[in-house]
Amino acid sequence: MTKKRTLTGYRPTGKLHLGHWFGNLQNMLRLQHEYDAYYFIADWHALTSDWQDPSRIRQYSEEMVLDWCAAGLDPDVCTIYRQSDVPEVAELTLYFTMVTPMSWLERVPSYKEQREQVTDKDLGNVGFFLYPLLQAADITIVRADAVPVGEDQLPHLELTREIVRRFNNTYGDYLVEPQAIVPKEGARVPGTDGRKMSKSYGNAIFISDTPDEITAKVRAMLTDPARKLKTDPGDPDICPLHQIHKLVSPDPGDIAQWDACCRAAECGCVAHKTKMAEDLVSYLAGFRAKRAELAAKPGYAWEVLEAGAERVRPVTHEVVEKCRELVGVEPKA
């Protein structure tokens, strides 16, 4: 039996942080063995927002591949490629522009939010407006069944399903409606300030941070804001320190103890931060060693991307050719 397909992509707009690691990467690691897996660097998506200054997109693309591989993605097991190496995605996006009403794009929540919140970039361009259509094309061009993502991406997945239905109703049942796969733990990893961890909020702990950087960031972390003194009882359920510690601790018994002594006001946040920083540093030690090993191989990431592009092209060619027939620009075979 042929394996089902999975696909996901990250924008190369910065380094990977714990939100990516727990919100998505752990699912990607597992799924590479269960599915025919396609993982790509969404460099055109990065360009939709960073078009005025694209100078770092290539560097971040390279670093992301190193981070992925050091985390355990195996380029011999899954297909790792770069979006811009597969221009068929742009052609499929164009076909999707035909079937998608503008109102569907106008109501995408991330579009509205980013237009309001991002003030240092010009997001009034058509490319940024088309962001979710390009994403729908990324997913459907390999006819992916399952898409591992963090919670924030669910509206994009729903829109993709709507577009696929409209395309199929109009031209014939061919494209696949994808399912989202969201992690049980870590669907929304908090940052050092308690908001969602995001590179754009300046609250991220990067997986490639040095032990000293990690320790300094953990020390400065927000805890339960209602807990001003050590003698005040705290609520671990709303404390970002507890939430991240739960994810990285090797010992559930230790977590239960920190939980209980916080609620009983018997231990302080400073001691907890020291322990959590130690646990986080050792949790990431294996990754750090592997990352250094891969970074020492010149050109490694670009070789991975080139081999991945070779592997994905036959799939994308086939899908685009079929779509050309369906939309009527080529005769039916």
CB of 173 to ligand ADP, least distance (A): 28
Q: Which one of 149, 205, 262, 280 is in contact with ligand TRP (CB under 6 A)?
A: 149
Helix axes 252-263, 240-248, angle to 10 degrees: 160
CB of 40 to ligand ADP, least distance (A): 12
By CB under 6 A, how many residues form the interface with ligand ADP? 18
Residue 291 contact, options ligand TRP, ligand ADP, none, Cβ 5-8 Å cut-off depending on partner type: none
β partners of residue 146: 6, 179
Is the CB of 30 or the CB of 196 nearer to ligand ADP? 196
CB of 294 to ligand ADP, least distance (A): 21
Q: Answer yes or no whether residue 227 interacts with ligand ADP by CB under 6 A.
A: no
Q: Answer yes or no whether residue 239 interacts with ligand TRP by CB under 6 A.
A: no
Q: Answer yes or no whether residue 135 interacts with ligand ADP by CB under 6 A.
A: no
Q: Answer yes or no whether residue 199 interacts with ligand ADP by CB under 6 A.
A: yes
**Residue count (the chain):** 333
Site residues for ligand TRP, 106-145, by CB under 6 A, read 135, 138-139
CB of 268 to ligand ADP, least distance (A): 26
CB of 103 to ligand ADP, least distance (A): 24
Q: Answer yes or no whether residue 69 interacts with ligand TRP by CB under 6 A.
A: no
Q: Which one of 5, 6, 9, 192 is in contact with ligand TRP (CB under 6 A)?
A: 9
CB of 31 to ligand ADP, least distance (A): 13
CB of 66 to ligand ADP, least distance (A): 16
Q: Is 187 exposed, middle or buried (0-12, 13-18, 19+ CB in 10 A)?
A: middle
Q: Which one of 42, 47, 66, 239 is in contact with ligand TRP (CB under 6 A)?
A: 42
Q: Answer yes or no whether residue 131 interacts with ligand ADP by CB under 6 A.
A: no
Name, in order, each residue with C-beta under 8 angstroms of 72's C-beta and a sequence gap of 6 or more.
Answer: 29
Structure tokens at 87: 């221009």
**Cα separations (Å) of 27 from 20, 70, 73, 207, 284?**
10, 15, 11, 16, 17
Q: Which stretch binds ligand ADP (CB under 6 A): 79-87, 120-128, 187-195, 209-217?
A: 187-195
Provide φ and ψ at 237, rounded to 5°. -65, -25
Q: Answer yes or no whether residue 63 interacts with ligand TRP by CB under 6 A.
A: no
Which residues sit at the interface with ligand ADP, rule CB under 6 A?
A: 10-11, 19-20, 23-24, 149-150, 152-153, 187-189, 196-200
Which residues sit at the interface with ligand TRP, rule CB under 6 A?
A: 7-11, 42, 45, 135, 138-139, 147, 149, 153, 156
